Structure 1
Amino acid sequence: MDNWLAIVISLSYLVLFLSLMMAFIRMALGPTLADRVVALDLIAFITIGFIAVYTLDSGQRAFLDVAITLGLVAFLGTVVFARLIAKRVSEERE
């Protein structure tokens, strides 16, 4: 049973890493600011995924507090960026 869990955790790390690389590419190449904001938000949530998988791997529950805090900060950052984008769009229309 432990071998099965180790395989799943290793695959999870691999998939999260590939997702992180694709999100970095989108953030670098994103044609619009909105694409970059979404990619940055995705990077934050992939990092939360890494923390969750590491918590399963190590058995230390203290890292879940870090993941929850990062999720809240990422959400607030997304709201701020959305307001910034909305403000820019409304200024361009005027």
Structure 2
Amino acid sequence: MIETACAIAFVAISAAMLLCLYRVLVGPDMPTRILALDTLTINAIGLVVLAGIYWGTELYFEVALLFAMVGFLTTVAYCKYILRGNVME
């Protein structure tokens, strides 16, 4: 039963990732692309957590935490670059 639910979730998250990738590549402006990239990171985190549930290992949850931290820092850096023109002060 859990295998079927994981398979359906894999397909749904993969479709969401493809739609986010399209928005990153074709987005009308830079803030939209940054938002799509952040959403793509969140979908990747969901995919990693789902893989951890499917294979029954805790290692993937630590990887998901690392993805979350790096994704947050990347989003903040992109936003600072748009607002100020540089990341470091």
Same fold (TM over 0.5): yes
State the TM-score, normalized to the length of structure 1: 0.86
Calculate percent identity across the aligned residue pairs: 21
* Structure 2 partner of 1:69: 66
Moved over 2 A (4+): none
State the aligned residue count: 85
One of 36, 47, 50 as aligned partner of 1:50: 47
- Per residue, is there more helix in 1 or in 2? 1
Q: Where in structure 2 are there 5+ consecutive unaligned residues?
A: none
One of 30, 35, 41 as aligned partner of 1:33: 30
Q: Where in structure 1 are there 5+ consecutive unaligned residues?
A: 89-94
The answer on 1:82 being equivalent to 2:85 is no
Counterpart residue identity of residue 6, structure 1: E
Matches of 1:27 and 1:55, distance apart in 2: 27
Q: CA deviation at 1:86?
A: 1.3
One of 2, 7, 10 as aligned partner of 2:7: 10
Deviations 1:6-62 (A, max 9, x none): 111011001001000100110011010111111111111111111000000001101
Please report the RMSD computed on the Cα atoms of aligned residues, expressed in angstroms. 0.9
State the TM-score, normalized to the length of structure 2: 0.90
Looking at CA atoms only, which structure, 1 or 2, has the larger radius of gyration? 1
Counterpart residue identity of residue 43, structure 2: I
Matches of 2:23 and 2:83, distance apart in 1: 21
